Amino acid sequence: MPKNHFITNKNMEKGFKQDNSAAEEIGRKLKMLRVERGMLSKDVCDKAGIKQPTLTAIEGGRYNTGIRQITDVAKALNAHIEIVKD
């Protein structure tokens, strides 16, 4: 079983709509985990209950989604989300 990873973003509490760099960082980390685990986007989407264009947009930092959807994707990747305040 793959090692658990933590997805951390110190600016997450500001909200993705206000700080797109948070969405970009989280998207990069999610994609990195997916690739490391050799998972297809379709597999992650099926486990997370989202559509492929949505995952593509999240991974590219172009979709300002909520924590629930990010958590679903993280669970599909066997990862955890950790929010750290400055």
Whether 55 contacts 27, CB under 8 Å: no
Question: Look-up: residue for tokens 């973003």?
Answer: 9
Domain residue limits, the chain: 6-82
pLDDT (0 to 100) of residue 49? 97
From the list 47, 46, 45, the residue with the least C-alpha distance to 58 is: 45
Band (84; pLDDT cuts 50, 70, 90)? low
Beta-bridge partner residues of 80: 6
Write the DSSP symbol of residue 78: T
Q: What is the dihedral of CA 73, 47, 42, 35, to 10 degrees?
A: 50
Fold of 6-82: 434 Repressor (Amino-terminal Domain) (1.10.260)
pLDDT (0 to 100) of residue 66? 85
pTM above 0.75, yes or no: no
